[in-house]
Amino acid sequence: MGFEAIVFYQGSKRFSNNPTKGIDFKEIFKQMIQNIRPENRIDMQSLWILSERLVEPWDYGNMLEIYPAVAFIANISEMID
């Protein structure tokens, strides 16, 4: 059994009013899943994309960061078999 949470983030000195505009998180997630090696089997996957109004820059040292999405992948079949 395995479970992994993957946080999508972006760092910058400054963000525009709409920092995630034009980012296709579904496509990025799809490519990420396709790049997982077959021996690392997954049978549960989900992607949570925050509403743009909830994406706020956080001060992190001398940079700002945003966390607009998180993906979850897991191999849970062994738990339910």
pLDDT digits (tens, 9 = 90+) for 21-46: 888 999 999 999 898 887 777 889 99
Q: Is there a contact between 3 and 74 (Cβ–Cβ < 8 Å)?
A: yes
C-alpha torsion 7→11→17→21, nearest 10: -50
User: pTM for this one?
Assistant: 0.74
Is a pLDDT exceeding 70 seen at residue 80? Answer: no
Residue-wise burial string across 32-58, b where 16 or more C-beta atoms lie within 10 A, e elsewhere: eeeeeeeeeebeeeebebbeeeebebe
Using the 8-state DSSP alphabet, how is residue 80 labeled? H
Is a pLDDT exceeding 70 seen at residue 74? Answer: yes
Q: What is the pLDDT of residue 79?
A: 62
Is a pLDDT exceeding 80 seen at residue 78? Answer: no
User: What are the extents of the domains in the chain?
Assistant: 2-80
- State what percent of residues in the chain have pLDDT above 90: 31
Is a pLDDT exceeding 90 seen at residue 16? Answer: no
The CA–CA distances, whole Å, from 22 to 26, 27, 74, 79 equal 12, 11, 28, 38
Mean pLDDT of the chain: 86
